[in-house]
Structure 1
């Protein structure tokens, strides 16, 4: 089991690196040469790189540091490590690919569609494997617990200000195309990673309910609830665990379930918004 987990962890990190390199290619070969930006921390980094001699790769790495720490405190060590790998890959990729040939020019619609698809593919691949390429999503997850807004609403709200900043360098047209490319990328992320933002509910029927809940609490910092359910044919009673997590914790939750009880019966539901109750978590490391 330990060997299998190590192999899976290495594979995840490899896919995160690939995701970072794909996203970097989308930026350097499609979007940036055509005065189109990304959203989030990467979008701010692109603007600063256009106004200063500092390279985009360095800016992406430096500006994401506070958000990596936030991910470490709110989601856990493994997510932070994976995010460091993803952001480092994106940063290094933009440096290595800075002079790659531009594959599309002139057609604004084609630029936004192709650039958004490539960018979303890279970001989605990283998120699917437990990492992130941009820190703005982590900030939105944290703010959603403090403010009366959903995570997806906050991501859009924060990026609204990012695209205002983009307009100062690329103009209104460039900012509009950047917003369209970001929207397309978000839809691709949803397809690849199965959930751009918001929360997910896990319902777990397992032979190890107490161990499962304790492990979720220790490694995710999440609480859970028990419900007694009964098999329709066996008439046997089980404890059903219900736990609500944010999307960035999904990969870690699946790992916990696989380690504790590979035969557990698990159903996962998309949740648009979570408010009130005890949807809180403590810091995990």
Structure 2
């Protein structure tokens, strides 16, 4: 009973954030993009094109076209992800239907593309952080990713390039280009929402002046770091390695510090996900 209660409590925030994300997604589409014939990618983009041609309500069409992908996702990906995705699609399909009579805020297509892209990106990012998705094509991409040499991002990009190219023949290629603007803005906003503005970067520094660099990082960035012993594969010589985790906003300053002390230092940078207080500022270990 306690386990079920815990599971329910952990689900409530997900449901809330999916509803919030779906509401923002609906607003971005119906208040900004669709009134200006700027479309989104994926199943929603296909639905917008079909709805324009055959006059079927967009909310109903979006849900119907996603159903086969839910079945596919349930079989190949898992129950939780599919259910949360289904719930998000139901929510924004309802949101689109409710907002359909509401006139667009602006007829300036550039403003609509920019702000529509931002709001759509916020909505999708919140839904993804809650564990769901907004589109059946992403389910297909996840399945194909396991079978093809292409990455998940490349597969989604291919789908959306095809959809936006098709939109060019329907709405005009100027609208398709504005759709691309909205699409890439949305992608960037999704990245910020999902990964956070304070996205962590793991930095490996190999330098003979490792002590000076370590002291400067701790003093000027207030960051803890780890000192490692390494061995070169070619010369079999021992090398000193610094490993530090910083936010992406601190990368420029870190590079400047390293360059001041040792411009020949080898530096590698990669995105990392961190947990716990060990990597907070001033946590020296």
Please state which band the TM-score falls in when normalised by the shorter chain. 0.5 to 0.7
| Residue 171 of structure 1, CA deviation | 0.8
Are the counterparts in 1 of residues 122 and 186 from structure 2 also a CA contact under 8 Å? yes
Aligned residue in 2 for 1:160: 161
Q: Any conservation in 1 of the 2:21–2:126 contact (CA below 8 Å)?
A: yes
1:91 alignment partner in structure 2 = 93
For 2:6 and 2:187, locate their aligned partners in 1 and report how far apart those are by CA, in whole Å. Answer: 32
Does the alignment pair 1:68 with 2:51? Answer: no
Cα shift at 1:5? 2.8
Identify the residue that residue 260 of structure 1 maps to in structure 2.
none
Give the paired residue count.
Answer: 198
Shift of 1:80: 1.2
Displacement of 1:4 in angstroms is 3.4
Confirm or deny: 8 A CA contact 1:44 1:165 kept in the other structure.
no
* SS of equivalent to 2:95: helix
Task: Report what 1:200 is aligned to.
Answer: none
Structure 1 residues not aligned, in runs of 5+: 196-231, 233-267, 271-285
* Preserved contact between residue 39 and residue 179 of structure 1 (Cα < 8 Å): no
Asked whether 1:42 is paired with 2:44, we answer yes
> 2:59 corresponds to which residue?
57
Higher mean Cα deviation, 186-195 or 54-63? Answer: 186-195
TM normalised by structure 1 equals 0.66
Note the aligned Cα RMSD (angstroms). 1.8
Give the drift of 1:194.
2.3
CA contact (8 A) 1:35 1:170 kept: yes
User: What secondary structure, in the 3-state scheme, does the structure 2 residue paired with 1:183 have?
Assistant: helix
**2:176 pairs with 1:175:** yes
- Describe the SS at the equivalent of 1:146: coil
Paired residue for 1:24? Answer: 26
Q: How does 1:178-189 map to 2 (within 5 A)?
A: 178-189=179-190
Please report how far the alpha carbon of residue 34 of structure 1 lies from its aligned counterpart in structure 2 after TM superposition. 0.7
Please report the TM-score for the alignment, with normalisation by the length of structure 2: 0.66
Deviations 1:79-103 (A, max 9, x none): 1111111000111111000011311
Question: Aligned-pair distance for 1:31?
Answer: 0.3
Q: Does 1:101 align with 2:120?
A: no
Alignment of 1:204-243 (within 5 A): none
Higher relative contact order (CA 8 A, sep 6+): 1
